[in-house]
Amino acid sequence: MIFIALLKNKLKFLFICSAILICNTTVYVEATPVKFIIEGYLDYVPTELSGTFSTRDLYHLEYTVESTSVDWYPDDPGKASYVDAITSLTITIGDYYSAAGTGESLITLYDNHSAYADWYRISLPAESMTGDDVNGCYLYRQSALLSFGDAGGNAFSDDGIIPDTLDYSNFSGYMGLTFYDPSMSDMIWYISISANISSFEYYPVPVPSALLLLSSGLLCLFGISRIKK
């Protein structure tokens, strides 16, 4: 009987700790990762990169951002910069694959701006990019890995990092991939391929919801009451 009582006390303690942990977790589950998947077809391939790339190759861009990323211009409703908001990014073009693995990135967004209207752009430094060389050329700074906008100002309703009302039919844009060519002159030392945008979609990455965690906590508390009996 003493052993059973001790076992019940230990189980009771574990249930209480689990319930407190899970219920408190519901308070902090606020950030929602959002995955963007954008595809298009290469419409320009320089001679130096031909063979590996060809026009009409499928360009697949996939990246994830944190919805709670902080805007560097909080007082400007028409301009936003999000630094290192991208948590993962991969690019596949035909049989070629590259990845930005360091997390360094810059997302620039304008909404109804006097100079840019609606505009969205992703830039990556050279050290963020990893991938195979192509004909002696290697990946370089991606000053416009992705760029799209709408001169009529209808693509966005605000400068938030997650464009809740984005309508693909409202904008036009392109994706690119830039390489450094050491054999070229000092004046022209980088070359790029580019692709149009044929599909654009984004959706939240599944994470444990607050409701699910709260339910688990309540079940733990229910287990405690059962043990007491």
Q: Over the stretch 68-86, which tens digit does the pLDDT of each residue have?
A: 999 999 999 999 999 999 9
| pLDDT value, residue 211 | 44
Residue 15: the pLDDT is 45
Per-residue pLDDT, 134: 94
- Whole-angstrom CA distances from 89 to 68, 145, 191, 217 are 18, 11, 21, 35
Phi-psi map region of 182: left, alpha, beta (phi>0 left; psi -120 to 50 alpha):
alpha
Comparing CA positions, the residue from 175, 87, 91, 177 lying closest to residue 126 is: 177
Quote the mean pLDDT of the chain: 80
* Parts of the chain with a pLDDT under 50: 3-8, 10-11, 13-29, 210-214, 217-224, 227
Give the model's pLDDT for residue 13. Answer: 44
pLDDT at 66: 92
Return d(Cα 164, Cα 176) in angstroms, integer. 25
Quote the pTM value.
0.76
Using alpha carbons, list the distances in angstroms from residue 161 to 24, 123, 154, 169, 218. 27, 14, 16, 19, 35
Given a contact cutoff of 8 angstroms between Cβ atoms, the answer to whether 196 and 25 are in contact is: no
